[in-house]
């Protein structure tokens, strides 16, 4: 065999080796391992997409579960939905990263094959190698053409994945928003409170929470019906939200109760805000067909201190709210500092 033939065989082997190595590196990458892990977590979760979209909607004025176990079930359901959407989103991001890497590999492969083709095409080969030369050129052209088609398919796949990511983001938003008031729901509030507690422990920044309850709301439902009660809930939510800063976090905690997180706010400043909210709601008039109603609210305030956890600060705010109810409603009470 001539030296030219050896060089030709070596070139073909080198091209094949580089291509195989690229594929192996992609198949063994950490991104793919994370993809497999995320896919396994998705398949392992006790939740199906059909259940997400066919679950019974929450009614506006339905009271919250009276027992603690019931509330935990609701929270767990919302958490499952949030976890599932997050897992699907992770899978889509990993797929997008793999597509981008494959696209780059296809581009680099085509460029390398093009360079090799140019070099081989300029080689002066003896007659007995011209047939092999022609076959090699055809094979290189075929691989370059396949890479070009692959890049087109990858571009389409990227567009599909981008659209699916947008749908997942919409789903994540939907399961964190209360359908009636368009405020954050209980699951979203719990998530935000945990995050705020962590920041408080790390940086020591003050924050305060409020538990806000509509006074005598049951009488509205009993007298005017649940649709009227829904309108009151939405109206009060709008009134409260209009009086807050952009950084404040308002959620519908359940039933006729709202929860509010005031960041970088101590108890003294929060108490002023609470009385302002009481005045705003008390001065408002809510029109139900031919009837005009006025409403009042009771607010329990608790500032985060020391080693407060989600449970301890919520408990103190709840106890403060109970004190307002005991003293006649339509007022504000600030919880004591934890011992």
pLDDT confidence of 87, banded at 50, 70, 90? low
- Could you report how far apart the first and last alpha carbons of the chain are, in Å? 91
pLDDT confidence of 163, banded at 50, 70, 90? confident
Residue 85 clears pLDDT 80, i.e. is over it: no
pLDDT of residue 132: 64
Tokens representing residue 250 in the block: 């308002």
Look-up: residue for tokens 């599909």?
Answer: 160
Look-up: residue for tokens 């597509």?
Answer: 99
pLDDT confidence of 84, banded at 50, 70, 90? low
| Alpha-carbon gap, residue 175 to 78, rounded angstroms | 7
pLDDT of residue 37: 55
110: number of Cβ within 10 Å: 19
CATH superfamily entry for domain 186-334:
Reverse transcriptase/Diguanylate cyclase domain (3.30.70.270)
Cβ partners under 8 Å of residue 81, min gap 6: 47, 52, 175
Q: Output DSSP code: residue 62.
A: P
pLDDT confidence of 73, banded at 50, 70, 90? very low
Please check whether residue 299 is in contact with residue 278, taking contact to mean a CB–CB distance below 8 angstroms. Answer: yes
Alpha helices of the chain — where are they, by DSSP H?
A: 3-27, 30-44, 49-54, 68-122, 127-174, 186-203, 217-224, 226-242, 267-283, 310-326
| Alpha-carbon gap, residue 321 to 329, rounded angstroms | 9
Please state the rounded mean pLDDT for residues 59-76: 43
pLDDT of residue 289: 81
Residue 187 clears pLDDT 60, i.e. is over it: yes
Task: Tell me which range, 4-13, 54-63, 93-102, 228-237, is most confidently predicted by mean pLDDT.
Answer: 228-237
Please state the rounded mean pLDDT for residues 64-74: 41
Please check whether residue 255 is in contact with residue 62, taking contact to mean a CB–CB distance below 8 angstroms. Answer: yes
pLDDT of residue 20: 45
332-334: strand order across its sheet: 249-254, 257-263, 207-214, 297-303, 332-334
DSSP 282-300: HH--EEETTEEE---EEEE
pTM: 0.57
Please check whether residue 205 is in contact with residue 262, taking contact to mean a CB–CB distance below 8 angstroms. Answer: no
pLDDT of residue 156: 78
pLDDT top residue among 264 and 7? 264
Residue 39 clears pLDDT 80, i.e. is over it: no
pLDDT of residue 133: 63
Residue 121 clears pLDDT 70, i.e. is over it: no
Window from 37-51, 160-174, 298-312, 313-327 with minimum mean pLDDT: 37-51
Average pLDDT, the chain: 76
Q: 328 in helix, strand or coil? A: coil
b/e code 119-152 from CB counts within 10 Å (16+ = b): ebeeeebeeebeeebeebeeebeebbeebeebee
Pick left, alpha or beta for residue 291 (phi over 0 → left; psi -120 to 50 → alpha; otherwise beta): beta
Q: Kindly report, residue by residue over 193-206, the tens digit of the pLDDT.
A: 999 999 999 998 89
Residue 103 clears pLDDT 50, i.e. is over it: yes
Please check whether residue 129 is in contact with residue 5, taking contact to mean a CB–CB distance below 8 angstroms. Answer: yes
Window from 119-123, 137-141, 259-263, 285-289 with minimum mean pLDDT: 119-123
Which neighbouring-strand residues pair with 208? 262, 303
Window from 113-122, 262-271, 288-297 with minimum mean pLDDT: 113-122
Residue closest to 60 by CA, chosen among 213, 185, 223, 191: 185
Q: Kindly report, residue by residue over 213-260, the tens digit of the pLDDT.
A: 999 999 999 999 999 999 999 999 999 999 999 999 999 999 999 999
Q: Is the dihedral of CA 129, 130, 135, 136 positive or negative?
A: positive
Please state the rounded mean pLDDT for residues 169-196: 87
Strands 286-288 and 332-334: unpaired
pLDDT of residue 6: 44
């Amino acid at each position: 065999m001539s030296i030219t033939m050896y060089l030709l065989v070596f070139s073909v082997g080198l091209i094949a080796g580089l291509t195989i190595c690229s594929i192996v590196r992609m198949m063994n990458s950490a991104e793919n391992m994370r993809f497999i892990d995320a896919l396994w977590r998705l398949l392992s979760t006790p939740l199906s997409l059909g259940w997400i979209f066919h679950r019974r909607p929450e009614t506006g004025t339905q009271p919250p579960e009276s027992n603690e176990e019931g509330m935990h079930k609701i929270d767990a359901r919302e958490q499952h939905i949030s976890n599932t959407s997050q897992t699907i989103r992770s899978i889509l991001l990993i797929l997008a990263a793999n597509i981008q890497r494959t696209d780059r590999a296809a581009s680099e492969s085509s460029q390398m094959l093009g360079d090799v083709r140019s070099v081989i095409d300029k080689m002066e080969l003896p007659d007995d190698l011209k047939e092999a030369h022609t076959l090699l050129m055809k094979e290189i052209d075929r691989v370059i053409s396949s890479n070009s088609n692959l890049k087109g398919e990858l571009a389409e796949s990227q567009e599909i994945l981008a659209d699916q990511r947008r749908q997942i983001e919409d789903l994540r938003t939907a399961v964190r928003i209360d359908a009636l008031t368009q405020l954050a729901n209980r699951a979203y509030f719990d998530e935000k409170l945990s995050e705020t507690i962590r920041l408080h422990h790390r940086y020591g920044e003050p924050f305060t929470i409020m538990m806000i309850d509509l006074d005598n709301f049951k009488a509205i439902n009993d007298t005017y019906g649940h649709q009227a009660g829904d309108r009151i809930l939405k109206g009060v939510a709008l009134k409260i939200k209009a009086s807050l800063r952009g950084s404040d976090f308002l959620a519908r905690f359940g039933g006729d109760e709202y929860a509010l997180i005031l960041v970088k706010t101590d108890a003294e400043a929060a108490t002023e805000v609470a009385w302002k909210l009481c005045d705003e709601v008390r001065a408002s008039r809510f029109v139900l067909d031919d009837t005009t109603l006025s409403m009042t609210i009771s607010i329990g305030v608790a500032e985060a201190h020391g080693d407060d956890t989600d449970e301890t600060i919520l408990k103190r705010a709840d106890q403060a709210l109970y004190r307002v109810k005991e003293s006649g409603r339509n007022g504000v009470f600030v919880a004591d500092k934890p011992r």
